[in-house]
Amino acid sequence: MVKIFIDEKPLEVEEGTTVLNAAEQAGIDIPHLCYHSAFLPEGNCRMCLVEIEGLPKLELACSTQVREGMKISTKSEKVIEARKGVLEFLLAEHPLDCPICDKAGECKLQDYYEEYGLFESQFEESKEKREKRLKIGKNLILDQERCILCTRCVRFLRDVTRTHELGVFNRGISSEIHIYEGLSVENNYSGNLAEICPVGAITDSDFRFKTRKWFLKKEESICPLCSRGCNIYIEYHPGFPRFSVPKRVYRVKSRENQEVNGFWICDLGRYGYSYIDEGRLNQIVENVNHPLSELNLEKILLFISEKLKRLYHMKKTSHIALILNTWLSNEELFLINKIFRIDLNVEKIFFVDPPEGEKDDFLLTSERTPNKRGAEEIGFDFKPLDLETLGNGTQFLMAFGPHLSHHFSLTEIKPVFDKIETKLLFTSFSNEMNALFDIVFPTALIAEKEGSLTNLEGKVQKFSQALMPLGESQPEWKIMVDLAKKLEVNFNFYRQFSSPEIIFQEMGKEITFFEKRK
Amino acid sequence: MEEKLLTRHFDLKNLYKIEVYLKEVGYQAVKRALKEMKPEEILEEVKNANLRGRGGAGFPAGVKWGFVPQDVDKPKYLCVNADEGEPGTFKDRYIMSHNPHLMIEGIIITCFCVGIHTAFIYIRGEYEAIALRLEQAISEAYKKGFLGKNILETGFDLDVFVHRGAGAYICGEETGLLESLEGKRGHPRLKPPFPASIGLFQCPTVINNVETISNIPQIILNGAEWFLKKGLPKDGGTRIFGVSGVVKNPGIYELPLGTNLKDIIFKYAGGMKEGKKLKAVFPGGMSAPILKADEINIKMDFDSLVEAESMLGSAAIIVIDEETSMLDVLKVVTRFYSHESCGQCTPCRIGNSWINKIIKRIAAGGGKRGDIDNIIRLASNMMGKTLCPLGDAAAMPILSITKKFRKEIESYTAN
């Protein structure tokens, strides 16, 4: 450990720490544009200059390592003047088009001007003219005039994807980021460029001109589109959608987690969010006339519990079948396991998930099963659906998820389903298979509920609720708790579960795997 | 006439051919260094000679060599900086074209001293004929057994390569040079790490200027004490001053360090051209703060010029006469740095361009009150805040000209 002083505040940091990181640890913000902790310091923006006692010149906070007794000043007059000077240079050639720039509200240049600039422009010359809307990739638009040449994009494509599509072209004031001839940023991580660009130079055409950053709220979530479990933010419009399109989610961004996804997410996870607002089921569908009029969850659960209780008392639980999937959270799978496998001795349990897809050698896995590891740790054998076994004597089927159609055709599945007396489906989507069930109940998506998922490496990660469940949708954990209470086995045990967090605590007590991950 | 060390034999016909060089001078220093001296002894001698870098920064060569770690299992490299891009500077080209073997001797001794087996001469692209001459000289040296395997049967191996730059001023900055040599854009690197520990291809690297390297054979043959006597106690040897501008005899003059600038201009270079009056002098290349006519009674060595708030730089003396407008000088200066800024860091990329735009506006008759103050402010915001010394190199002449000739420049801004 090395003892240093930042703005007279004594601090102990590890040897080899840079001044910028040390200041961060002390809660002192040193402005920087080119520095990004994913890359080695580049030192080109010159925003992070600080004063170090005994040194004649200002030094870079991003690349200077601390030394014992070092006295650093981040707020001296010299430092503030230098920052202003750098900002003035950057803004001189910048188009200052914040009102029509998608980065406005989350632009570091804008923020730093507010914080350290606030001067009148003294630039009376004509600005350099450059490309304003260069399409550099499937979703990426480059505005060279807004670019401050921090080269984060070049370094990302050099060090992370190693695909080298962008480079710095020309020299001096003519320097600009450009794409190499005949290339396009088509790698599966391209969307990260718009995210690491500190200004509005690289914008994402999926987000461009759709909304303003300050209308959005964000919530921490986990990407469910493969088994990696990348940490993400879901950014959404709170309240009603502002456009005729019933769209709530406007963007998915990466959330740093060095143990899982570093700073990045893949384009599948970033751009694959449209499922949250499209093709959704938002009300109960009744395909077979039931004696129960005007269905609601209460009546449906009463109906299910009566059926289950009867089968249980007649010792006919072998006639019960379940179709699950790994989009269910640890907490939901835990409850289903308790109720059906342990309390009711149901054995016919299948998993129907999306089929495997493409993978890359970085984050994206071929499995599209966000909680397969969780299901295994809870105790499920991971059996795919076998229609013959399902058809053999099943009288009562409870299915979850929209994935049947990925594996079976309607004609294949219909004869088997016709033999089953009672069939219920809990799904978030409208789907042709929904017609096979007597009752279809809408469920909440991961973005609409709380819980946790276990990724392929066994990391248990919580996600929080960004959106309200759509229409009559309910999260599965709640449905299960209510059902369990109606079954009247262990009523007092299930009664306590008023939130996924409480279920998780119980899981930790019962399953060693989850104990240390509480 | 003062004794010449580097340019002594320049008058000999065909000196660049190894037969002539061997007959007249003859690789004596290499023989002595490799056969009679230990690397530590050479290092000690060079350190004692106070040989300061002739490229511009004036860093002691021996100290620089001493920074190279000896206990690494990576190769070590020597890069001879022959990019000679500082405006007004034309000394290295004379050494390389007239006496290439002197430099090659210096290279061999340096490499033997530091334990280097590969050396590169990074020469500016415009010096095509000189590059060819160097190639020729190197191949002669290989044939005579001064380069290649087992040099002079001492077991020491050395290969030397000539690499031509593509004409960027920034590639004369040592880390820009390394990047360029590695085949990348000539963007300077952050320091530390310094090239002595992590340089070319991430290996320990010595980078010396042509003139610096060419002084090594003298030091080996005559010793440090002798070398110090040829210059100053803290600044050994001679300097090749390149005088250009409005003087009677422009050209190179090899003189002891500490020679008076006034004498160089009026005694050695023959004084001002007929009918011209001295106005200002750049004493060490265009990057050095300018001196007014009444400031030239000054000793030309590193420390004296620092004291006068200028610098010796590459010892290129540019003489400006009364008829030359200082606004024109500023226009040339700012156009050059704006064009040659590599564009990597903010203050140099935008500052130089901005100042150049203002100067162009003033020259076109659009000058405004406040322009001069703005230029001074912008140049001060570059000074000391850029990634490499190019920012300072640009700010220094701009600041000195605008401050020392403020009245004259202001006269162009008043409509």
Kindly state whether residues B300 and B361 are assigned to the same domain: no
Contacts of B342 in chain A (CB under 8 A): 171-172, 175
What is the identity of the amino acid at B202? Q
Query: Cα distance from A47 to chain B (closest Cα, Å)?
Result: 9
CB contact under 8 A, A42 and B341: no
First CA to last CA distance, chain A: 31
What is the pLDDT, as a whole number, of residue A290? 65
Tell me which residue in A49, A123, A124 faces B385 most closely, judged by beta carbons.
A49
What is the pLDDT, as a whole number, of residue A489? 83
Tally of CB atoms within 10 A around A499: 15
- Which residues face A440 on adjacent strands? A285, A425
Q: Which residues contact A64 (CB under 8 A, 6 or more apart)?
A: A18, A19, A50, A52
Domain count, chain A: 3
Distance separating alpha carbons of residues A2 and A391, to the nearest angstrom:
70
Q: How would DSSP label each residue in A203-243?
A: EETTTTTT--GGG-EEEEEE--SSTT--EEEEEE-SSS-SS
- Cis, bond preceding B195 (omega within 30 deg of 0): no
CB contact under 8 A, B385 and A126: no
Query: Cα distance from A201 to chain B (closest Cα, Å)?
Result: 16
Q: Which residues contact A203 (CB under 8 A, 6 or more apart)?
A: A101, A102, A103, A140, A141, A143, A194, A197
Kindly state whether residues B61 and B155 are assigned to the same domain: yes
Assess if residue B5 is contained within a domain: no
**Is 70 exceeded by the pLDDT of residue B354?**
yes
CA distances from B227 to A422, B26, B72 (A): 105, 19, 32
pLDDT per residue rounded down to tens, chain A (518 residues): 999 999 999 999 999 999 999 999 999 999 999 999 999 999 999 999 999 999 999 999 999 999 999 999 999 999 999 999 999 999 999 999 999 999 999 999 999 999 998 889 999 999 999 999 999 999 999 999 999 999 999 999 999 999 999 999 999 999 999 999 999 999 999 999 999 999 999 999 999 999 899 999 999 999 999 999 999 999 998 865 555 557 899 999 999 999 999 999 999 999 999 999 999 999 999 998 766 668 899 999 999 999 999 999 999 999 999 999 999 999 999 999 999 999 999 999 999 999 999 999 999 999 999 999 999 999 999 889 999 999 999 999 999 999 999 999 999 999 999 999 999 999 999 999 999 999 999 999 999 999 999 999 999 999 999 999 999 999 999 999 999 999 988 889 999 999 999 999 999 999 999 997 75
CA distances from B250 to A262, B246, B266 (A): 62, 8, 11
What is the pLDDT, as a whole number, of residue A133? 96
Contact A61, A6 (CB under 8 A): no
Distance separating alpha carbons of residues B289 and B284, to the nearest angstrom:
8
What's the predicted TM-score (pTM) here? Answer: 0.94
Please give the residue that has the higher pLDDT: either A241 or B173. Answer: B173
- Residue matched to tokens 């299960």: A480
CB contact under 8 A, B349 and A124: no
Domain that holds residue A167: 124-276
Contacts of B336 in chain A (CB under 8 A): none
**Would you call B210 helix, strand, or coil by DSSP?**
helix
Domain that holds residue B303: 238-321
Contacts of B375 in chain A (CB under 8 A): none
Contact B115, B70 (CB under 8 A): yes
A192-202 residue pLDDT tens: 999 999 999 99
B248-291 residue pLDDT tens: 999 999 999 999 999 999 999 999 999 999 999 999 999 999 99
Of B64, B52, B56, give the one whose Cα is nearest residue B396.
B56
CB contact under 8 A, B385 and A45: no
CA distances from A237 to A210, A220, A246, A462, B274 (A): 11, 15, 11, 22, 80
Assess if residue A502 is contained within a domain: yes
Kindly state whether residues B94 and B171 are assigned to the same domain: yes
Kindly state whether residues A270 and A339 are assigned to the same domain: no
Contact B298, B261 (CB under 8 A): yes
Contact B120, B78 (CB under 8 A): yes
A78, closest residue in chain B (CA to CA) = B381
Distance separating alpha carbons of residues A225 and A270, to the nearest angstrom:
10
What is the pLDDT, as a whole number, of residue B306? 95
Kindly state whether residues A429 and A473 are assigned to the same domain: yes
- Give the mean pLDDT of B122-146: 97
Tally of CB atoms within 10 A around A411: 7
Distance separating alpha carbons of residues B104 and B115, to the nearest angstrom:
16
B377, closest residue in chain A (CA to CA) = A85
Which domain-ending residue is among A253, A276, A299? A276
Residue B150, H or E segment: strand B148-151
Tell me which residue in B185, B358, B380 faces A125 most closely, judged by beta carbons.
B358
Kindly state whether residues B54 and B158 are assigned to the same domain: yes
Contacts of A42 in chain B (CB under 8 A): 190
CATH of the domain at B332: 1.20.1440.230
Kindly state whether residues B210 and B298 are assigned to the same domain: no
Assess if residue A115 is contained within a domain: no
CATH of the domain at B179: 3.40.50.11540
Instruction: Give the CB-side neighbour count of residue A210, counting CA atoms within 13 A.
Output: 18
Query: Cα distance from A1 to chain B (closest Cα, Å)?
Result: 21
Kindly state whether residues A245 and A291 are assigned to the same domain: no
How long a stretch of residues is chain A?
518
What is the pLDDT, as a whole number, of residue B25? 80
| Number of A–B residue contacts, CB under 8 Å | 100
Residue A501, H or E segment: helix A500-510
Kindly state whether residues B345 and B269 are assigned to the same domain: no
Contacts of A35 in chain B (CB under 8 A): none
Tell me how many helices (H) and strands (E) chain A has.
16, 21
Query: Cα distance from A45 to chain B (closest Cα, Å)?
Result: 5
CB contact under 8 A, A46 and B346: yes
Kindly state whether residues A405 and A493 are assigned to the same domain: yes
Which domain-ending residue is among B176, B198, B229? B229
CA distances from A267 to A142, A190, A196 (A): 18, 7, 14
Q: What is the average pLDDT value for chain B, to the nearest integer? A: 96
How far does CA A225 lie from the centroid of its chain?
A: 9
Residue B118, H or E segment: strand B118-123
Tell me which residue in B185, B353, B374 faces A172 most closely, judged by beta carbons.
B353
CA distances from A448 to A268, A376, A505 (A): 20, 24, 21
B3-23 residue pLDDT tens: 899 999 999 999 999 999 999
What is the identity of the amino acid at B383? M
Contact B266, B260 (CB under 8 A): no
Dihedral of CA atoms A487, A493, A498, A503 in degrees, nearest 10, equals -110
Tell me which residue in B168, B342, B387 faces A43 most closely, judged by beta carbons.
B387
B346, closest residue in chain A (CA to CA) = A45
CB contact under 8 A, A123 and B339: no
What is the pLDDT, as a whole number, of residue A516? 77
B370, closest residue in chain A (CA to CA) = A122
- Residue matched to tokens 């280097």: B116
CB contact under 8 A, A172 and B387: no
**Is 60 exceeded by the pLDDT of residue B415?**
no
Query: Cα distance from B383 to chain A (closest Cα, Å)?
Result: 10
Assess if residue B12 is contained within a domain: no
